[in-house]
Amino acid sequence: MKRNSYTIDYPLLIILFCLISISLISVYSGSGQYYSSDPFYFLKRQFIWYVIGLIVMAAVAKFDYELLEKWAVPLYIIGMILLMLVHFFGVFRNGAQRWVNLGIFEIQPSEFFKVILILFLSVTLSKIGRRKLSFTESMPITAKVAIFSLFPFYMILVQPDLGSALIIAAITLSLIAVSGISYKMVLLLTSAGAGLVGMLVYLHNHYFDIFIKIIKPHQLERIYGWLDPYGYASSYGYQLTQAMLGIGSGQMNGWGFTQGAQVQSGQIPEAHTDFIFAVIGEEFGFIGASILISLYFLLIYRIIVIALNANTLFGFYICAGSIGLISFQAFQNIGMTIGVMPITGITLPFISYGGSALLTNMITIGLVLSVNLKSKRYMFSNNAA
């Protein structure tokens, strides 16, 4: 039988290039006020990062992802060593210690550990097979997953980097949810998380001296600014109120490219990074924001399709972890910009300016494409036989 020449998920690539186009437009518009001498400064750097990211993505996609099963444990160990190096010898900048200086350049291990954790947990959970475990059978595997996720979660949280720590938790929970672990165990873990939040609220209201030892002052300020942005409009809630003002003023069609008053006047801090969604909302309105959100839904849909067609459970879990990584980042970033979620340092995937986060997301897409390429090859081989 003649083999089909189709091997690449072109819809996914089209969606990705749409996101890249939106990113370049938004980064240019949102960063003009920072470098008046060179309005293309951030745009050029973002373009370079995209070129590097696309090359890395293509290389990862071409690589046989199944070979990574043997490398998952060594990669996890290397990742933990890098996190330990950050803790003891990391570069301290802007109130956080998140980088390791390698001489020629600096890296942020917490970003790359997200991919490493997806690989490690995918290997661990794929050993369950396709059967559904009972609650008792789920205990040892859940304990293993929890332990190997809590170590990096803690190491990243104390940097402090709450945003990346939450992504670690999101990846873990998304993989557990689609695994063979009992639904009762999943419900128990969800209830434990809700109970932890309830305990923190109780400590805040009754034992504030203990609470402040757990939650850092700057994190508490962000929570106050989220719960009552207009009450703290001149301090903790400044970013959020300005972002919501800009998005609200965009109405249906927006003010137009580089015409957003809030963005162009510099009233929205970090408009090209954490708050880039405010640029889109103000200058392209509800229509522009809806198109972006729709692209994320389509991206997740394509990854789901690839996951369901994967030939191995390892490939399936890689896709599931990738969905957890991308969807949580998008939900959290957009949510914090419109006041639905508290403000964290999580960037908008494939849109915000930045190197490490962008490279991590491109590696993730490369892994998904690798799963797709391998699945198609097996399918054609069977047909040919």
385 residues of the chain, pLDDT tens digit each:
344 444 789 999 999 999 999 999 999 998 876 666 778 889 999 999 999 999 999 999 999 999 999 999 999 999 999 999 888 888 877 677 888 877 766 778 899 999 999 999 999 999 888 888 999 999 999 999 999 999 999 999 888 888 899 999 999 999 999 999 999 999 999 899 899 989 999 998 998 888 888 887 878 888 888 988 888 888 888 989 999 999 999 999 999 998 988 988 888 888 899 999 999 999 999 999 999 999 999 999 999 999 999 989 999 999 999 999 999 999 999 999 999 998 888 999 999 998 889 999 999 999 999 999 988 554 444 444 3
Closest Cα to residue 300, out of 332, 328, 334, 327?
327
Residue 9's contacts (CB-CB under 8 Å, 6 or more residues apart) are 302, 305, 306, 369, 372
CA distances to 1, 9, 76, 292 from 383, in Å = 7, 19, 37, 38
The whole-model pTM stands at 0.90
Neighbour tally for 109: CB within 10 Å: 26
Encoding tokens for residue 45? 């750097």
Give the chain's count of helices (H) and strands (E).
14, 3
Whether residue 72 contacts residue 122, with contact meaning beta carbons closer than 8 Å, is answered with yes
Domain locations in the chain? 10-384
Which residues, in sequence order, are bridge partners of residue 100? 107
Whether residue 161 contacts residue 83, with contact meaning beta carbons closer than 8 Å, is answered with no
Whether residue 225 contacts residue 235, with contact meaning beta carbons closer than 8 Å, is answered with yes
CA distances to 174, 183, 193 from 190, in Å = 11, 10, 5
| Rounded distance between C-alpha atoms, residue 334 and residue 244, angstroms | 11
